[in-house]
Structure 1
Amino acid sequence: MRRRELLRHASAGLLAAPALLAGRPARAGENEPVDVELVLAVDVSRSVDAEEQELQFRGYAAAFRDQRLAEGIQGGPLGAIAVTLFTWSDWNIQDLVVPWTRIDGPASAARFADRLDAAPRQTYLYTSISGAIDYAARLFGQGYEGTRRVVDISGDGVNNSGRPLAQARTEALAQGIVLNGLAVVDHTPAPSQVALLQPPLDDYYRHEVIGGPGAFLMVAEGFRSFEGAVRRKIIREIASNPPPGPLVERAYA
């Protein structure tokens, strides 16, 4: 039985593996077991202005300083998760902001937040969700092995760069990756004629982006509701055995 399957059974209460694996250092060439491998993918296309980008970064940092998040991580079978964060825009632009980091309590979570505070803020042009998914899928298995592999994609627009989104999504799901979404519905400024021809962003993310066992969508009604949205979302994502929840949740400022 592969170790990932052993961990998955353990998180469901079928085996006592956590007691055996917790505290055991990974052997040379072996990935360290964690409850979840979580990739945070943050949109920095031109539709996200400097103030909105700052609200995103502050939101993620505040989430990792939240005591409830640390308690949720410590309550898992292994009591640790692995997290990495990158920004994305055009099909060929993905910048790794914080590499894979083991988080097992308030101190390591706060250090992750500090790195987000210190990260450079950059803005590019287009919105390639497909490129973000492809990049995220290649990040897994680099030092850690989780019961679940989750990609958290935040953005405020539809795919307009790179290969078809459906292709990237299908390939990621075939690898057992769960795709969750954080759609930012920004009502200012007034939508352009092009935007009016596009589907509502929350519907688009629900039908075209998210997928996999237990996948869900968090909708932030404006960037000022982003902090509360991302906190609720990550706390739900790190649960070792996530309880059934709504397919779509909404956060308001």
Structure 2
Amino acid sequence: MTTDRRATRSGRPSLRVERELQRAGHRVLAGMDEVGRGSLAGPVSVGVVVIDETCRTAPAGVRDSKLLTPAARVAMVPRLRRWALAHAVGHALPAEIDEVGIIAALRLAGTRALAQLDVVPDLVLLDGNHDWLTDPQEAGLFAELGSGASIPPVRTMIKADMRCSSVAAASVLAKVERDQQMVELASVHPHYGWADNKGYSASVHMDALRVHGPCVEHRRSWSLPGVTPAAGGSTSVGDDVDGSVEGHLLADTVSEGRSR
């Protein structure tokens, strides 16, 4: 069994993939992951963690954010920030998701995260099998919406959040920041239980939608209970269109895309 397969099954990522990419010439490497893709309300958020060869082994206990308790994620944030060469989280708002769709909104959040960095990565390592970060056809749209960052070359890897420490770290930073935003929004819109469900399709949230209807923080292009989706929207409730499936080794699961 390879190191990659053990990491995938145990949820314990390493820097093996990152070191291979650095030896191949990508010395400044950015791990990137998203959270909130399938939520009914609130932003979609993208974390990025940049490392180079001076960044040693990742802090003990780093995992994909879904495998950690909320308290463990929050406690890990200061350690991840000290470890990384640079880090950031970008967001796309519900109205932007409704306007451009979830994939373009992911791209917008990702470019906003990159724009915050004070270092330009040689390569972005992206979780999944689809490069949602690169789309030259939407360069004009993103300029209008103020993303303000050029896109480095991108490589996708299935289960990168389970295999790669930089990607797992990015998922933790994004999850903690987005969760904090949802707790703050819950104080403004208390009916929906966002402090607990973070905008996902929990029964409390669904019942509140039926009784009170949606608010400004909901994604109106989603199929919400009792609400006709906004024009152009057809995403099902809770749909998390990730497309990730169990992969093979690095040589079989890594694909490259470049911005144009």
TM range (shorter): 0.3 to 0.5
Higher relative helix content:
2
Bigger relative contact order, structure 1 or 2, given CA contacts below 8 A and separation 6+?
A: 2
Structure 2-normalised TM-score?
A: 0.32
Bigger share in strand: 1
